[in-house]
Amino acid sequence: MHYDSDMAKVIIVMPSYNEAKSVSKMVEAMAGILPNIKDHQVELLYVDDTSPDGTADIVRGLQKNYPWLHLLVNPKKEGLGAAYAAGMPYAMKELKADWLMEMDADFQHPPADVPRLIAEINKGFDYIVASRYIPGGSIPSAWSFQRKFLSVVGNLVARVCLIMPKIHDITGGFKLSRVKGFMDEFDFTTLLSKRFAYKVHLFFYMVQKGAKVKEVPFAFGNREEGESKIIKNEMQETLRVIFLLQWHNPKIRRFLKFGITGFLGFIVNSLALEFFRRGGIGETLHTITGLANASAWSGGLAGEMAIINNYLLNNFWTFKSQKITSPFRFLGKFVQFNLTSAGAVIIQFAVIGSTTHFFGDTVLVRQVALILAIGFLIIPYNWFMYNKFIWKSKRKVSSQK
């Protein structure tokens, strides 16, 4: 095979672990495809973790016939993300890759689709993603319901939580990324997962870097041979990576802190309710005033405890850059905070009142109405009030100067 030296070089990075059964077939399939790609120099790099089934030996044997076939052997198996964290820098530094392709060794990413992805390079894209979730793409029909469900839901959660509505497949592993300005600026020692969830991190990174993304439909095939390495709790790992990615984003971090504070407020509310009710304080207030009953007084006091909890946590943690410190303002704002909290109570009053009026006064209607009221009205309302009134950002004022 002869290539011009200025032709862009694509390295297909293919991690393998116990894939001995498919290596010869894969290399032969590539031998039938790669030489026909005329405008790019395409080479294949196996990244094997010293597979006990001798995958690497088979690759070594084939290297004699195929000069475009490379092999990197890691001493031990640490997971798919770890294999890429070793293979991608190797492909860039040692093999001088201009483009990196991520691809599985078990034929689930059909070799016949490689030229279709590479063909997009010349159209100005930086990140070419084989997508299972756009028209023309698919996941294996043979998968169990559980696996289909986890795949679809995992991907949906990633799209929503990473705020990438326009991307349809974030959790797939067949893609092509530009090296210059993108992968060469990524520090692989910071990759957040050594496992399958590495994909979510790389995707997030590429989009943040401003990559022009192109999704190309493809049918994710059935594993033909060998055994699956996917681990059962991959979903948890993906959620962990998503959380960490967003935790580093100041705006999202603030919103997460606000959410955590609200959740803690709820716990304080419920514990305090029982504390006041059982500890006799509710009873005492009822006796002194002669009004309502012990639980009503306990509930009211517990609500105030939650308000105090939320005020303190939001002031010293969530909005700590706009922290209120002077004692007078601190008290004044606390009164304001109580008023905005009363607004939330009114919202809840109105939503639960009207839904039970129209849909029946049942436990289901009340609880669903409560969740909807919190999710769609109270959270946005509180977020708005805190940002606009209680802990108003001072940035605008200083930028006008």
Ligand X SMILES: Nc1nc2c(ncn2[C@@H]2O[C@H](COP(=O)(O)OP(=O)(O)OP(=O)(O)O)[C@@H](O)[C@H]2O)c(=O)[nH]1
The label of the residue with tokens 């919202």 reads: 347
Q: Which of residues 257-286 bind Mg ion (CB under 5 A)?
A: none
Choose the one of ligand X, Mg ion, none that binds residue 111, judging by a C-beta under 5 to 8 angstroms depending on kind: none
User: Per-residue b/e over 272-309, b at no fewer than 16 CB within 10 Å?
Assistant: bbebbbeeebbbebbeeeeeeebeebbbebbbebbbbb
Using the rule CB under 5 A, is 16 a contact of Mg ion? Answer: no
Helices and strands in the chain, H and E counts: 14, 7
Q: Which of 67, 64, 84, 83 is nearest to 75 (CA)?
A: 83
Per CB under 5 A, contacts with Mg ion among 213-232 are: 223
Residue 105 beta carbon to ligand X: minimum distance, rounded to whole angstroms: 3
Rounded to a whole number of angstroms, the minimum distance from the CB of residue 29 to ligand X is 14
Contact of 305 with 277, CB cutoff 8 Å: no
Pick between residue 92 and residue 103 the one whose CB is nearest to ligand X. Answer: 103
Residue list 131-190, contact with ligand X (CB under 6 A): none
Size of the site for ligand X (CB under 6 A): 19
Q: Could you give phi then psi for residue 223, rounded to 5 degrees? A: -65, 125
Choice between 131 and 309, CB closer to Mg ion: 131
Pairing of strands 9-16, 99-102: parallel
Please, is 115 exposed, middle or buried when counting C-beta atoms within 10 Å of its C-beta (0-12, 13-18, 19+)?
middle
Secondary structure of 178-239 in HEC code, one letter for each residue: ECCCCHHHCCHHHCCCCCCCHHHHHHHHHHHCCCCEEEEECECCCCCCCCCCCCCCHHHHHH
State yes or no: residue 17 binds ligand X (CB under 6 A): yes
Asked whether position 108 contacts Mg ion by CB under 5 A, the answer is yes
* Distance of closest approach, residue 222 Cβ to Mg ion, in angstroms: 9
Cβ 15 to ligand X shortest distance, Å: 3
The interface region with ligand X, picked from 226-234, 244-252, 285-293, 322-330 by CB under 6 A, is 226-234
Angstrom distance (rounded) from CA 20 to CA 214: 33
Told to check if 16 binds ligand X by CB under 6 A, we report yes
| 84/257 Cα distance (integer angstroms) | 33
Segment near Mg ion (CB under 5 A), from 50-58, 103-111, 204-212, 267-275? 103-111
The least distance separating ligand X from the CB of residue 39, rounded to whole angstroms, comes to 27
Q: Please report whether residue 197 would count as binding ligand X according to CB under 6 A.
A: no
171 part of the interface to Mg ion, by CB under 5 A: no
Q: Identify the residue among 11, 12, 13, 19 touching ligand X (CB under 6 A).
A: 19
At its nearest, how many Å lie between ligand X and the CB of residue 73?
Answer: 9
* Cβ-based neighbours of 331, under 8 Å, separated by 6 or more: none
What residue is closest to ligand X based on CB? 228
Residue 103 CB coordination number (10 Å): 24
Q: Which of 43, 85, 108, 378 binds ligand X (CB under 6 A)?
A: 108
Q: Does 106 bind Mg ion (CB under 5 A)?
A: yes
Q: How far apart are the C-alpha atoms of 68 and 132, rounded to whole Å?
A: 29
Q: DSSP for 321-359, please give it.
A: GG---SHHHHHHHHHHHHHHHHHHHHHHHHHHHHHHHHH
Q: Which stretch binds ligand X (CB under 6 A): 13-21, 162-170, 310-318, 369-377?
A: 13-21
Which one, 5 or 144, has the nearer CB to ligand X? Answer: 144
Q: Which stretch binds Mg ion (CB under 5 A): 104-112, 204-212, 330-338, 364-372?
A: 104-112
> Judged by CB under 6 A, which of 10, 56, 71, 83 binds ligand X?
83
How many residues can be counted in the chain? 401
Number of residues that bind Mg ion (CB under 5 A): 4
Rounded Cα distance, 321 and 253, in Å: 13
Q: For residues 200 and 238, is the Cβ–Cβ distance under 8 A?
A: yes
Nearer residue to ligand X within complex by CB, 47 or 200:
47
We find the least distance from the C-beta atom of residue 111 to Mg ion, in angstroms, to be 14
- Complex with ligand X: residue 45 or 307, whichever CB lies closer: 45
Residues 29-58 that bind ligand X (CB under 6 A): 47-49
Distance CA 254, CA 88 (A): 34
Helix axes 80-93, 198-208, angle to 10 degrees: 50
Q: Is 237 in the site for Mg ion (CB under 5 A)?
A: no
Out of 141, 228, 289, 398, name the contact with ligand X by CB under 6 A.
228
Site of interaction with ligand X (CB under 6 A): 15-17, 19, 47-49, 77, 79-80, 83, 104-106, 108, 223, 228-230
